[in-house]
Structure 1
Amino acid sequence: MIILKAVFENNEESSRIDFNTIDQLCEFLDVQVGDLFVYKPNTKDDDEEC
């Protein structure tokens, strides 16, 4: 979903999203949780940033 992608790309410090927020997004957009998220495995470079 473009909305969430833009939110997380513009805030590099975000590491989680509350269940309540997910619930509200799903209800507002009339979608299921799986419609909001795509699994993207960490790369080796991502692990070194932590």
Structure 2
Amino acid sequence: MHNLGCMLYHGDGVDQDRVLGNRLLEEAKSLIDEDLDRKLPKNVINLRRKG
């Protein structure tokens, strides 16, 4: 995780920072979804996915 922080801080340019930020954001969202999937009953998860 330390390396990711350095990459964010020392990024070459705005585009690279934005791409890396988006990648981190997507990863965070998927981790949150996985965590919720483990904690919530299945019918609640299905409602969340529909919308």
TM-score by length of 1: 0.25
- The structure whose RCO (Cα within 8 Å, separation 6+) is larger is 1
TM-score by length of 2: 0.25
Greater helix fraction, Structure 1 or Structure 2: 2
